[in-house]
């Protein structure tokens, strides 16, 4: 681990872990001897406002400052001539950030999401595997960049995995709606995105298993879902899901 002060570091933080993924990179940048400008997400405005208040109380603005605002501010922020730019977020926005930084030859660190597969070997204990997968998938309601995005399962074990996963969900979250330990989807817009992807899969012939009650109107605690027989052209298999929906693909062999 090498501490290397380069100057002023710009940090663009995401909404899914709005404290950890803002202050973690800020702390390391400061510890290495840099100054920091932080742009937190506008999707978590209360957390962003509190971060700005606390940072302002503890640091001089020329040491560490928080810049709030929506997409227009983020665009302007990423075009500043930083000595290093650190971005955590989606691949789509990461490309835009990299393009803006390139105009200034600013070195960048891009921590991007992706479609992380979870491969279940034929030798696996399915009950044990399902519990671990459910924990990883449902932490923060799936709004985690390293959550299992989809499962690769040996063909013929679909019913066994469905039972094991349903039992794991029941153990982890005996109740879902109103349970403060089961996270909500961050906004109505992102909830609608999840529901649209599931609806498209259904219309394409996929079998959707809903493991829990649908939330009342105005609540955003989306129940865990398994999706079987999913055509590869659907959005659930093209885009990072970032929610509690878990497609299950089957295969004959690891190859």
Q: Looking at 17-74, which runs of residues are DSSP E strands?
A: 35-39, 64-66
Check 63, 111, 188, 251 and give the catalytic one: 111
Q: Is 145 a catalytic residue?
A: yes
d(CA 247, CA 151): 6
Report the residue count for the chain. Answer: 255
In a 3-state reduction of DSSP, which class is residue 225? Answer: strand
Residues 6 or more apart in contact with residue 19 via CB below 8 angstroms: 47, 51
Q: List Cβ neighbours of 103 (8 Å cut-off, separation of 6 or more).
A: 79
158 an active-site residue? no
- Give, in degrees to the nearest 5, the angle at Cα 20 between 24 and 46: 125
- Coil, strand or helix at 131: helix
Cα–Cα distance measured from residue 73 to residue 98, given in angstroms and rounded to the nearest whole number: 16
Catalytic residue among 145, 160, 240, 251: 145
Give the residue from 124, 149, 157, 152 showing the smallest Cα distance to 251: 152
DSSP element (H, E) containing 151 = strand 150-154
Residues annotated as part of the active site: 111, 145
């Amino acid at each position: 681990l090498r501490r290397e002060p380069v100057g002023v570091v710009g940090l663009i933080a995401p909404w899914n872990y709005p404290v950890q993924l803002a202050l973690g990179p800020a702390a390391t940048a400061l510890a290495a001897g840099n100054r920091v400008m932080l742009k937190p997400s506008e999707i978590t405005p209360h957390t962003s406002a509190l971060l700005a208040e606390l940072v302002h109380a503890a640091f001089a603005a020329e040491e560490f400052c928080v810049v709030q605002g929506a997409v227009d501010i983020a665009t302007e922020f990423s075009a500043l001539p930083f000595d290093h730019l650190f971005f955590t977020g989606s691949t789509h926005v990461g490309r835009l950030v990299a393009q803006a930084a390139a105009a200034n030859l600013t070195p960048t660190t891009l921590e991007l999401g992706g479609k992380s597969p979870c491969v279940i070997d034929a030798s696996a204990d399915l009950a044990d595997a399902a519990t671990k997968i459910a924990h990883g998938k449902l932490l923060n309601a799936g709004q985690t960049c390293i959550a299992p995005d989809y499962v690769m399962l040996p063909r013929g074990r679909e019913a066994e995995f469905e039972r094991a996963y349903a039992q794991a969900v029941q153990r982890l979250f005996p109740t879902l709606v109103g349970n403060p330990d089961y996270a909500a989807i961050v906004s109505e817009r992102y909830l609608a995105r999840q529901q649209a992807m599931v609806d498209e899969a259904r219309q394409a012939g996929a079998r959707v298993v809903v493991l829990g009650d649908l939330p009342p109107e105005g609540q955003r605690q989306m129940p865990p879902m398994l999706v079987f027989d999913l055509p590869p052209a659907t959005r659930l298999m093209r885009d990072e899901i970032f929610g509690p929906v878990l497609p299950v693909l089957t295969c004959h062999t690891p190859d």
